[in-house]
Amino acid sequence: MLLCFTCDPYQPLNDEHGLTRLAIETLHRYGVPVMILTKGGRRAEEDFDLLRKGDMFGVTLTFTDDIQSRRWEPGAALPQERIVSLINAHDRGIKTWVSLEPIIDYSQTVWLIRLTEPVVDHYKVGKMNHMPGADLHDWKTIAAGVKQVLDDLGADYYIKKDLAKYLEPAAIGGKQ
């Protein structure tokens, strides 16, 4: 059960009321593994003690630059804090993943992949949609470049359909 793609399970309301912890406990009671996605950074670590085999902890990473992160992701933990939470999850034996979506700045996306690869078990990559400037990107070059970096590192990844459509059919595949 994914916690959560269109919201954040570690927003301040959940910190105050422990709703995410309660949800994890309830799902586990019924044998349902959890897959967490957050921009909450270290706030999520309070529930690491609940995560077990079959569960995954993930963060959304968009920028390496704190200024851009604050502008595009107000209220989110800064990128370095999210990366630290990935490292801490990995060090506890928790399977980790990163959502690289939306790609806004290709060079920062590549840097984030290279920076996190030692502690990330899986990547999901998607393009920027429904935002001003999305059509100005060279998605064919970006898709091929991101895929090449992931392949060169031997990373496990999934390129979402919105970005995969820019890859040559023979190029789709790899360790997905």
pLDDT digits (tens, 9 = 90+) for 162-174: 999 999 764 444 5
Residue 58 exposed, middle or buried by CB count within 10 Å (0-12, 13-18, 19+): buried
Give how far Cα 12 sits from Cα of 35, 43, 67, 70, 75, Å.
19, 9, 21, 17, 9
For the chain, give the mean pLDDT. 88
> Letter for the amino acid at 131?
M
2-11, 18-27, 133-142: segment of lowest average pLDDT: 2-11
Task: Give yes or no for a contact between 44 and 11, defined as CB atoms under 8 angstroms apart.
Answer: no
The string of pLDDT tens digits covering residues 14-63 is: 667 788 899 999 999 999 999 999 999 999 999 999 999 999 999 999 99
Query: What is the C-alpha separation between 143 and 131, in angstroms, rounded?
Result: 18
Quote the percentage of the chain above a pLDDT of 90.
68
Q: Is the CATH code 1.10.10.10 the one for domain 41-171?
A: no
Residue 164 CA to residue 140 CA, distance in Å, equals 9
- pLDDT band, very low/low/confident/very high, at 12 (cuts 50, 70, 90): low
Neighbours of 117 (CB within 10 A): 16
pTM: 0.88
Q: Which one-letter amino acid corresponds to residue 105?
A: D
For 66-98, the pLDDT digits (tens) are: 999 999 888 899 999 999 999 999 999 999 999
DSSP code per residue over 79-107: HHHHHHHHHHHHHTT-EEEEEEEEE--HH
Name the residue ranges covered by the structural domains of the chain.
41-171
